[in-house]
Amino acid sequence: MGSSTASLFLLLGCFIPVFCITREYFIGIREIQWDYAPTGKNVILNKLLKEDEHAATFLERGPQRIGSVYKKAVYLQYTDATYTKEITKPKWLGFLGPVMSAEEGDVIKVHLKNMATRAYSIHSHGIMYNKTSEGALYPDETTDAEKHDDRVDPGKSYTYVWVLSDTHAPTKDDTNCLARAYHSHLHAPQDIASGLVGPLIICKKGTLDVYGDKAADYSYVLMFTVSDENMSWYLDDNIKTYCTQQSTAANIDKDDEAFQESNLMHSINGFVYGNLPDLSMCVGNKIHWHLIGMGNEVDIHSVFFHGQILTNLGHHTDAVSLFPATFTNVEMTADNPGHWLLSCQVNDHLMAGMQALFEVKKCFPAVHKPRPNGEVREYFIAAEEVLWDYAPSQVNHGTGKPLNTDGSTFFQRGNDRIGGKYKKVQYKEYTDNTFTVQKERTPEELHLGILGPVIRAEEEDTIKVVFKNKASRPFSMQPHGVQYNVEQSGTLYYNELEGTVTPPPAALVKPGTTHTYEWVVPKGGGPVADDADCITYFYYSAVDPVKDTSSGLVGPLLVCKKKTLKKGKQKNVNKEFHMLATVFDENLSWFLDDNINQFTKAPKTVNKEDEDFQESNKMHSINGYMYGNLPGLTMCKGDKVSWHLSGLGSEADIHGLYFEGNRLIYRETRRDVMNVFPHISHTVMMEPDSMGQFEVVCQTTDHYQGGMRANYTVQKCSMFNRQSEIMLHSKTYYIAAMEIDWDYSPNRTWEQEMYHGLTQSPGNDFIDKQGKFIGSIYKKVVYREFTNNKFTKQKERSADMQHLGILGPMIHADIGDKVNIVFKNMATRTYSIHAHGVKTDVPQVKETKPGETQTYTWYVPKTAGPTDKQETCSVGAYYSTVDVNKDLYSGLIGPLVICRRSYARSFGLKKEVEEFALLFMVFDENESWYLDDNIKTNIKTPTRNIKEDEDFIESNKMHGINGQLYGNLLGLNMEVGDKVYWYLMGMGNEIDIHTAHFHGHSFDYKLSGGSHRADVFGLFPGTFQTVKMKPKYPGSWLLHCHVADHIKAGMVTVYKVTEKGKECVGLVHCVNEPMSNVNALKYILNKENIKSFLVSFLVSFLVSFLVSFLVSFLVSFLVSFLVSFLVSFLVSFLVSFLVSFLVSFLVSFLVSFLVSFLVSFLVSFLVSFLVSFLVSSTMA
């Protein structure tokens, strides 16, 4: 299909009785010289770049350093097709392309001219296009004529046509306008790193005017990304141009870690260290912030707007998360004047300059904000140095073994090892401003550990904190979730507007001095109706936010609804627990040298740069406790428990907190895992209905292994707890653990076409043996389903389950089910099977030894299934827990789908949805039980230290979707108009930050009782989410993780949409071909499927027989009556009318009844057989 035909096809969307606009943009691609710090200063600290150690790392030029200026390619907007007059964009947009916008129904025409020296394209998120306007090059089975959009060569032009259709536009529950992004997609990771990215704003009908969103006074777009200039197409040019000694530039080692680090620009719109200009607004203005994440594995961002309250998805906050290709839209009323800090709170990013300033000006002197009229709540808090023990019992409570062996990496003291005790600093509460009597913690507060005291306030309250610094260094208190005057900010930064040269007292409280902070909870800034009573924030010291928090200064802060506190405590809950998940990096503590001198046996021999030493000081803790040492998490069955969860730390602090045994409610959705990130907090509610001791663990594998585990206990405290539900339905699955040879890439055709041959493919690093690697085939262990408990015949996967790949069978359960898993271990190691979300008889998961069979029983009460505000079905996972990490990486995982009960589905009468379960995970074969076997089998002469070789280690990290790489995942096939549930799953380690992006279609997901739209969903270890799609646009569409390294490593495939009734002919990825009648009959008569056929037949037969018999009976009665009346009348002259009527009526009725019965039986039999055959063959 040519470009003009495609344009006509898309423009047809306008020929409806709704006014729509065609918006034209003339976009040119040009190469420019971009300066990440044009002022030459760290504006945040008012220092020259060369005076700032951290800034100089990235921005100072040198013999082998590029500095702050880089050649980049950018999108620029022009007035017309001559491309001679550029339309000036706002300075704050930086190197981003121009803001494009559209309302629902609008057509966007992008006339792209490539004035760069390389070929590029333009591809957009969140909008409708067909194959001639997708702008993304990949094997999608299109013709050469349909690929002109995928590559625009230097000097060439192309017109793209996009339509904002109803399936992409914001839902009624979304805000008026949503951010999306457009970028070049010829080679997306390199193109984006080179600078080709810009914002697209998509809006509801009638919400835009010539200035943008009608509901906003100002709209700003901010993109947070670590711009990786090492990945740019222009790296060699930049080395040649900017390294100061050309004689050495040619010999620069581009793989040198320090050189690569210097080229990572932690930027906001391409600016670092406060150089982003012109973020300005007036008091009273309505501001819409459109936030975009982009980049790689390091691009986990927590965006903090100091001193402000934001609205995000209808809830209040002051910090939001961003990941590669995720988009967030927050609204803010600028009612707090001052020069405010805007920053990413991830430790590494703070230090590297991902900060900006925005100004709220007093433009209208009459604007007056009334003071809150609530209570004044006073706290007396001191910072004190303490000796902290991360595991007072010295025992790993998960295994019962001593930590000097089980956790020796972290707890064994030595010549150059500190052990488990560290000098730290902690917030402590006192009774009054004399700071002589410290408040003792109650038994309910024991679990707080290293955390400071809990500060609580209701909406419209004022919080006064008298803070005394009893430590040996300057510290402060910086809160989240409240407002304060800019002079009361606890963060140290240069505030040009305030005209202060010396730091304000609030930002730097010197040792031995006291400062009183005053914070307020503004009206309309607290929890909303569907929030819990109290929403979770925290406070921390921010003189140096990284070193201060790494040293221990952090505490919980709750903002509550009015009239929900009594004597300063929550009155509507039985228990309140706080959990801070973080890897306390003691290498970043102010007290590292003190700890080396006090606890190592040979302090002078310690090398602080040694990687093993640094690793030993990374304490994977919950509230400062590791390996189950956290005390005080005890509750009663049936209690109403509020859990207040927070994250803190660096790029590695991706936490999936999994609560075994009992489920949580979060914003009207039910789950048992909550993801937290640095400076992001959540409140979740629990009403425990399972008793015993359970674990709360971080599902990130390194964190689990490193000790981020705690125990909580549920006791029976009352005789009147509600009785357990009775499970009325039972189903049985026969599942075995089997060892197989698994091929991650059985066919390299897709990869070969993608990279124009295998020579240049990045896949060679993973799936090509090259004489020293294992290749694509690994011995693994997987769950597979069998037909019965004899385990002699494996159940063949139907076409609609072909996509499961390495995953075990999709286990379905409805609320009210009792699910029996008959599990046989056919492998050579001990394994088990454990599921998220279900109830079991005991908390412990029994192990099954090789050759043994064991039945695991799972119960699915109402509390295990989705709420009525979620989709009908929710997804979780089942896996082996003998060794959680090694079992997982060896292959043992599968999807568990729990649904609200549907009797139509139970009887097999109706296939309500198409279902696809996708696990995005890097299978780390270095952690598999079978690594030695795989080395022995696949490498003829392995080197002695092969398992320590970095290239070998990297080659064993398989970036798969369901264990398949580079388009090898088959079976993602659907038809236009289908209702599709995508069950998205994330598991794995710190690198397992995945943003699943669907080309061609958007999807809906539910949260807070509403439905929201996206085309990218973020997945992390322990994330399980159902998203719903109604495919509308035929084609073979790309589905991939948007993290740059994961794209290159093969985490890509396609899903196929065909027209209704059309067969999949000659399509590589099409496996759901319609069956012939003969094959359908064979399928039905297979003993695995005969049961569903018989059930369907019986139901249809009974219904049709009753209907036909009732009709026949009525007809028989009327016919008999009429015939009898006529006959009786005729013979009544000879005999009595009554006698003749009775005789004739009985005879005729008996004959009619028998005929009716036989006819009804035969008709019902035939109809039922045909219906059942059609239903079963359709399901087949």
940-996 pLDDT, tens digit each: 999 989 999 999 999 999 999 999 999 999 999 999 999 999 999 999 999 999 999
With respect to residue 371, please indicate whether it lies within any of the assigned structural domains.
no
Residues 890 and 926: their CA atoms lie apart, in Å, by: 10
Query: Does the structure show a pLDDT above 60 at 13?
Result: no
Encode burial over 850-860: b for 16+ CB neighbours within 10 A, e otherwise. Answer: eeeeeebebbb
Q: How confident is the model over 1105-1141, as pLDDT tens digits?
A: 676 667 666 766 676 667 666 666 665 544 555 666 6
Distance of CA 287 to the CA centre of its chain: 26
Encode burial over 914-942: b for 16+ CB neighbours within 10 A, e otherwise. Answer: bbbbbbbbbbbbebbbbbeebbeebbeeb
Give 90: exposed, middle or buried? Use CB within 10 Å, 0-12, 13-18, 19+: middle
Q: What is the pLDDT of residue 1150?
A: 72
856 with 821: CB under 8 angstroms?
Answer: yes
Q: Which residues are catalytic?
A: 698
1019 and 1119 in a single domain? The answer is: no
Neighbour tally for 48: CB within 10 Å: 12
766 and 691 in a single domain? The answer is: no
User: What's the mean pLDDT in 1143-1153?
Assistant: 67
Distance of CA 323 to the CA centre of its chain: 9
User: What's the mean pLDDT in 160-171?
Assistant: 97
Please state whether 638 falls in left (phi above 0), alpha (psi between -120 and 50) or beta.
Answer: left
Domain boundary among 328, 361, 394: 361
Query: Does the structure show a pLDDT above 50 at 5?
Result: no
Angle among Cα 1033, 908, 1031 to the nearest 5 degrees reads 5
109 with 65: CB under 8 angstroms?
Answer: no
Which distant-in-sequence residues (6+ apart) come within 8 Å of 125 by Cβ? 180, 181, 182, 200, 325, 327, 997, 1015, 1016
With respect to residue 603, please indicate whether it lies within any of the assigned structural domains.
yes
980 and 1044 in a single domain? The answer is: yes
Which distant-in-sequence residues (6+ apart) come within 8 Å of 481 by Cβ? 309, 316, 317, 318, 521, 535, 537, 557, 559
With respect to residue 666, please indicate whether it lies within any of the assigned structural domains.
yes
Q: How confident is the model over 916-954, as pLDDT tens digits?
A: 999 999 999 999 999 999 999 999 999 989 999 999 999
Assign 770 a pLDDT band (cuts: 50, 70, 90). confident
With respect to residue 724, please indicate whether it lies within any of the assigned structural domains.
no
Query: Does the structure show a pLDDT above 60 at 619?
Result: yes
99 with 281: CB under 8 angstroms?
Answer: no
Question: Would you call 808 helix, strand, or coil by DSSP?
Answer: coil
User: Range with the lowest mean pLDDT among 313-322, 580-589, 1169-1178?
Assistant: 1169-1178
Query: Does the structure show a pLDDT above 70 at 895?
Result: yes
Query: Does the structure show a pLDDT above 60 at 172?
Result: yes
705 and 823 in a single domain? The answer is: no
Give backbone dihedrals phi and psi of 982, rounded to 5 degrees, phi first: -100, 120
Question: Would you call 219 helix, strand, or coil by DSSP?
Answer: strand
1007 with 669: CB under 8 angstroms?
Answer: yes
330 and 433 in a single domain? The answer is: no
736 and 673 in a single domain? The answer is: no
With respect to residue 1019, please indicate whether it lies within any of the assigned structural domains.
yes
Per-chain mean pLDDT for the chain? 90
The gap between the terminal CA atoms of the chain, to the nearest Å, is: 34
Query: Does the structure show a pLDDT above 60 at 1174?
Result: no
Give 944: exposed, middle or buried? Use CB within 10 Å, 0-12, 13-18, 19+: exposed
SS (HEC) of 1064-1086: CCCCCCCCCCCCCHHHHHHHHHC
48 with 69: CB under 8 angstroms?
Answer: no
Residues 133 and 160: their CA atoms lie apart, in Å, by: 5
Query: Does the structure show a pLDDT above 80 at 398?
Result: yes
Distance of CA 984 to the CA centre of its chain: 9
Domain boundary among 715, 739, 755: 715
122 with 75: CB under 8 angstroms?
Answer: yes
Q: How confident is the model over 818-834, as pLDDT tens digits?
A: 999 999 999 999 999 99
SS (HEC) of 329-387: EEEEECCCCEEEEEEECCHHHHHCCCEEEEEEECCCCCCCCCCCCCCEEEEEEEEEEEE
Give backbone dihedrals phi and psi of 111, rounded to 5 degrees, phi first: -95, 105
Q: In terms of residue numbers, what domain contains 863?
A: 729-1074
Structure tokens at 770: 């090259």
Q: Edge to edge, what strands does the sheet with 777-786 contain?
A: 777-786, 729-743, 817-825, 853-859
595 and 646 in a single domain? The answer is: yes
Structure tokens at 928: 């598999």
968 with 744: CB under 8 angstroms?
Answer: yes
Q: Looking at the 3D structure of the chain, how many domains does it have?
A: 4
Residues 410 and 706: their CA atoms lie apart, in Å, by: 8
Give 796: exposed, middle or buried? Use CB within 10 Å, 0-12, 13-18, 19+: exposed
Q: How confident is the model over 44-101, as pLDDT tens digits?
A: 999 999 999 999 999 999 999 999 999 999 999 999 999 999 999 999 999 999 999 9
Percent above pLDDT 70 for the chain: 86
Widest CA span of the chain, in angstroms?
134
Q: What is the pLDDT of residue 1066?
A: 36
818 and 935 in a single domain? The answer is: yes
With respect to residue 723, please indicate whether it lies within any of the assigned structural domains.
no
Residues 265 and 256: their CA atoms lie apart, in Å, by: 17
Please state whether 897 falls in left (phi above 0), alpha (psi between -120 and 50) or beta.
Answer: beta
Domain boundary among 333, 361, 389: 361
111 and 10 in a single domain? The answer is: yes
Q: Which residue has the higher pLDDT, 590 or 209?
A: 590
Q: What is the pLDDT of residue 1008?
A: 83
935 and 992 in a single domain? The answer is: yes
Percent above pLDDT 90 for the chain: 81
Angle between helices 1077-1085 and 1090-1131 (to 10 degrees): 100
Structure tokens at 918: 């996708």
With respect to residue 367, please indicate whether it lies within any of the assigned structural domains.
no
Residues 1055 and 971: their CA atoms lie apart, in Å, by: 8
Q: What is the pLDDT of residue 258?
A: 95
Compute the CA torsion angle 674, 675, 676, 682 (nearest 10 deg). -40
Which distant-in-sequence residues (6+ apart) come within 8 Å of 610 by Cβ? 416
Q: What is the pLDDT of residue 1082?
A: 44
Q: How confident is the model over 536-591, as pLDDT tens digits?
A: 999 999 999 999 999 999 999 999 999 999 999 999 999 999 999 999 999 999 99
Query: Does the structure show a pLDDT above 50 at 148?
Result: yes
Structure tokens at 120: 């590029």
169 and 143 in a single domain? The answer is: yes
Identify the CATH number of the domain in which residue 982 sits: 2.60.40.420
| CA 386 to each of CA 67, 364, 425, 579, 1170: distance values in angstroms, whole numbers, following the listed order | 42, 49, 6, 20, 79
Residues 812 and 872: their CA atoms lie apart, in Å, by: 12
442 with 632: CB under 8 angstroms?
Answer: no
With respect to residue 720, please indicate whether it lies within any of the assigned structural domains.
no
Structure tokens at 661: 């045994």
Question: Would you call 911 helix, strand, or coil by DSSP?
Answer: coil
258 and 138 in a single domain? The answer is: yes
Q: What is the pLDDT of residue 251?
A: 84
Q: Which residue has the higher pLDDT, 1152 or 202?
A: 202
Residues 40 and 323: their CA atoms lie apart, in Å, by: 29
Q: Nearest CA to 1016 among 351, 88, 328?
A: 328
Helix count and strand count (H, E) for the chain: 23, 65
Query: Does the structure show a pLDDT above 50 at 1076?
Result: no
